[in-house]
Amino acid sequence: MRHLSFKSLLVAVFSTIFMFSTVTVSAQHEPEGHEPATHETGHEGEHAPKKEGFDAKEVIFGHIMDGHDFHFFDWNGHPVGFPLPVILYSQQKGLSVFLSSKFEHGHAEYKGYKLVKEEIGEKIVSTDPAEQVYDFSLTRNVVQMIIALVLLVWIMVSIAGSYSKGQGVKTAPKGKQNFFEPIITFVRDEVAVPNLGPKASKYLPFLLTVFFFILINNIFGLVPGSANVTGNIAFTVILGVISFIVILFSSNRHYWGHIFNPPGVPLGVKFILVPVELLSAVLIKPGALIIRLFANMVAGHIIIICLISLIFVFTEKLGQGFGIGSTVISIPFTIFIYFIEILVAFLQAFIFTMLSAVFISQAMEGEHHHEEGAH
């Protein structure tokens, strides 16, 4: 519960900081006695700079999409965060390595490259349109996945080391074992064994790796300023493809025989049923794993950002008083959704693991259908 309270406190603190930083920036851009520029200035008005304000769309997509830096918040108009390494290669310039801060958040060019802000993300391009650029940069999704992987390996190796020394076997479990042992036991007894039976131990390492890797990335995504890795479709596609490969190698001739030649089905119906079954095995099952995880993690983050954005919108459109008043609604609802998202983080890791086990079981159980029918 202390961990949950700490996350809730983080949301409230960051929301307050964001609100006052927005008010400060608005005050700097609109001093007293200053009249906003109008566009009724002939041809000059067409090229006049647009008034800067809070862009909810940019904030939302800036969080759920990938980027080349970690951005926590703005303070007095200056972004607070840290840059990430940019690794580019082109035939004209060769290999270029530098920090993303050289781009000054898209306002500067460096070594013939520039950071372009798009509608739903950003990318690095060359100032020469004819130059082909290959981007191998360590974006925040990549960095966060590496951190999650290192953390997962460290946790499991340290727990295994404790068991090898007899701790948790001859004596009561301690430390990390107390937290992770019930989760591991739950995945084994409620996911692997009921679906895979005698072969549960064979697939348990895969199921545990998938469960904890998704769970750690889900939890990391709830930290303000972090990357929403599991809300990235590329991440979930790779996980879905890996699960599909495991399902494919677990299948047998009975499984594919029932797909291409369903028993007990009239010939005319087979022409309809076979494409449906094949599409289900190759596309629908992996797609269910991919879309379910992606959609649920993106939806929760968008709701949280939209609730926080109400503070900025009311401050900008209606004034500071309405902005402060909106915190009475926005912050409690954000904290509530945050608690729900913690539950969803565990739930989506469990669902992905459970569905993977179910699909693997379906690929292996074809040879038992006749025996079950006899009984």
Q: Indicate the pLDDT class of residue 53, thresholds 50, 70 and 90.
A: low
pLDDT digits (tens, 9 = 90+) for 179-211: 898 999 999 999 999 999 889 999 999 999 999
Residue tagged 């950071």 (tokens): 115
Alpha carbon distance 175, 291 (integer Å): 36
Q: What was the pLDDT predicted at 120? A: 66
User: What confidence score (pLDDT) does residue 28 get?
Assistant: 37
Listed residue (367, 369, 363, 355) closest to 249, CA to CA: 363
Amino acid 212: pLDDT: 95
pLDDT at 10: 42
Residue 366: pLDDT band by 50, 70, 90 thresholds?
low
Taking residues 169-186, report their average pLDDT: 86
Give the per-residue pLDDT at 236. 94
> Across all residues in the chain, what is the average pLDDT?
79
Q: Which residues lie across from 94 on neighbouring strands? A: 90
Please report the pLDDT score of residue 146 as a whole number: 94
What is the pLDDT confidence band of residue 56, given thresholds at 50, 70 and 90? Answer: low
Question: Over 50: is that where the pLDDT of 320 sits?
Answer: yes
Buried b (16+ CB within 10 A) or exposed e, 145-156: bebbeebbeeeb
pLDDT category at 88 given cuts 50, 70, 90 is very high
Euclidean distance between CA atoms 109 and 103, whole angstroms: 6
| pLDDT for 277 | 87
Q: Report residue 214's pLDDT band, with 50, 70 and 90 as the boundaries.
A: very high
pLDDT tens digits, one per residue of 69-85: 887 777 776 777 788 89
Distance from C-alpha of 260 to C-alpha of 278, rounded to nearest angstrom: 8
Cα separation, 131 vs 119, in Å, equals 23
pLDDT 10s digits, 3-23: 444 344 444 444 443 343 333
3-state secondary structure of 338: helix
pLDDT tens digits along 130-151: 888 898 999 999 999 999 999 9
Helices (H), 165-199: 176-187, 193-196
Q: What is the pLDDT of residue 119?
A: 67
Residue 45 confidence (pLDDT) above 90: no
pLDDT given for residue 195 in this prediction = 92
d(CA 84, CA 194): 44
pLDDT at 266 over 70: yes
pLDDT of residue 312: 81
Tell which wins on pLDDT, 256 or 365: 256
Look up the pTM and report it.
Answer: 0.78
Distance CA 170, CA 145 (A): 35
User: For residues 193 and 200, is the Cβ–Cβ distance under 8 A?
Assistant: yes
Give the largest CA-CA distance in the chain. Answer: 90
Residue 64 scores a pLDDT above 50: yes
User: How far apart are the C-alpha atoms of 128 and 136, rounded to whole Å?
Assistant: 19
239 pLDDT exceeds 70? yes
Predicted local distance difference test score (pLDDT) of residue 218: 93
Contact 126, 220 (CB under 8 A): no
Question: Residue 57: which of 124, 16, 117 has the closest Cα?
Answer: 117
Does 26 have pLDDT greater than 70?
no
Per residue in 104-114, pLDDT (tens digit) is 877 888 888 98
The span from the first CA to the last CA of the chain, in angstroms, equals: 50
